[in-house]
Structures are given as structure tokens and as C-alpha cells.
Amino acid sequence: MSSPSIPPPLLLLRASTSAPLSVNWRKRAARASVAAAALAGDGGCAGSGMEQLRQGKASSSPVQEKPVMSNIGKSTNILWHDCPIGQPERQKLLGQKGCVIWITGLSGSGKSTVACALSRELHCRGHHTYVLDGDNLRHGLNRDLSFKAEDRTENIRRVGEVAKLFADAGTICIASLISPYRRDRDACRALVPDSRFIEVFMDLPLEICEARDPKGLYKLARTGKIKGFTGVDDPYESPVNSEALVPDGV
């Protein structure tokens, strides 16, 4: 049986990945970018690969600047790598601006309900969104974290970093978490500059949230079966300058 014909762009891409190791890596990267542009209809960027190749040749002199390495936290000798396609280009492609909508409030205040309703409404209007739900994330990314204060801080830090990446990708990221500590929410805000962090406070009194108790968690906390539950034996620090406030919850 004869093998199916392969479109020229795919041949170019395959050639770029199977070239001998002696071929300059910049040439392979340039051919790959040209092939990818052809596959995607290039969007007016067909010449960028060749331009990068020319720049690569120009910078291939024997004298090169030594890369500046960084030590961040427990990670040492790491290097930030910039790519030519950044947030402005991604936002232009999507026709929207990436941002983080951070919904905070007590358990039972309606955070997830509002997050999903907002995502659905924006989707129907042609916007690209993604919801980061606190419980959902603890099924995977944050499954190794407890509800102790230090783990809650790490939980919010991780979600903040993920939300930052979504916003950088041009997506409207809707984060729905209790996030009880003000300093942790402020740290997430600092990750997303240029007023692209929108804090929404679900301002529902504790007694109403407890009366709802959709997951039965307040009852467990009151009987001592859950320790460190927000609003019962762990504090919730209300926002002082949130961009939006939903009174009486949902």
C-alpha cells in the first residue's frame, strides 16, 4: 500500500526535526517556524523565521555575551528565555485582553456559581475564558496540600502563578477560591500588573453561608470533625479595596 502524500509544510517540519546534528540549530528552528506559519496560514508572519535566521547568523560571532543566570527560591542557575510571540500578539490573535478575575468569599457564598455563570456569559459573547476552581485544583495540582495556614498560602501562590500564565496567554482567567488571607490575595494581585487583576468579594454573612451549608462542611466544623475551617475556627480577612462586591452572595 502506498503511503499517503504529505503536504509540503509537513515535509518541511519533518525535515527540520530530522536534520543531522551538525546543522546549525538556528537554521532548524527557522525552518520549523516557517513550516508552522504555513500550517497556520502564517497570519502575516511568514517572514519572521527567515528574519530570525538572519539575526542568528549576525549573532554567531565568536564573542557572545554571557547569559545572566538567576537564583529564585530553591531554584538555582536558571535562565529566563524570551520568545518573540508575547502577550500583545496573543491578545491580538484572540481579540481580547487577558486578565484575572479573582472571586473570594466564605464557603457557601456562591463563588463557583458566579464563576461558572460569568464564564458561560463571556463564552457566549465570543470571549475565551478558563475557570480555576479551588476544589477542582485540589484534585490535581494542589492535592499534596492540606488546609493548614502554610499550605493554604502555598495553595493560593500556586493558583496565582497559574492565573498569571493564563492572563499572559490572553485568556480571561476566573479564579474561584475562599483565599481567606488578605496578604495572599495581594501577592497574587502583584503578579498581574497594569490593573488586570479584578478582585470580586462575595459579601455574604457567615450565618447565611452556614445556613446554606451546601457541602455539609459547617456542620462538620461545628462538631469538631474538621479543624481550621474558615469562618468557624480560622479567620476570613475581607477585602478592603476589591474592584467588585456582590452583596448578599448568590
179 tagged catalytic: yes
- CA geometry: angle at 144 spanning 156 and 190, to 5°? 15
3-state class of 139 per DSSP? coil
- Say which of 179, 195, 238, 242 is annotated catalytic: 179
Rounded alpha-carbon distances, angstroms, from residue 24 to 27, 44, 99: 6, 26, 39
Alpha helices in the chain (DSSP H): 8-18, 25-39, 48-58, 87-94, 111-124, 134-137, 149-168, 182-191, 206-212, 217-222
- In terms of C-beta density within 10 A (0-12 exposed, 13-18 middle, 19 or more buried), how is residue 13 classed? buried
Q: State the catalytic residues.
A: 179
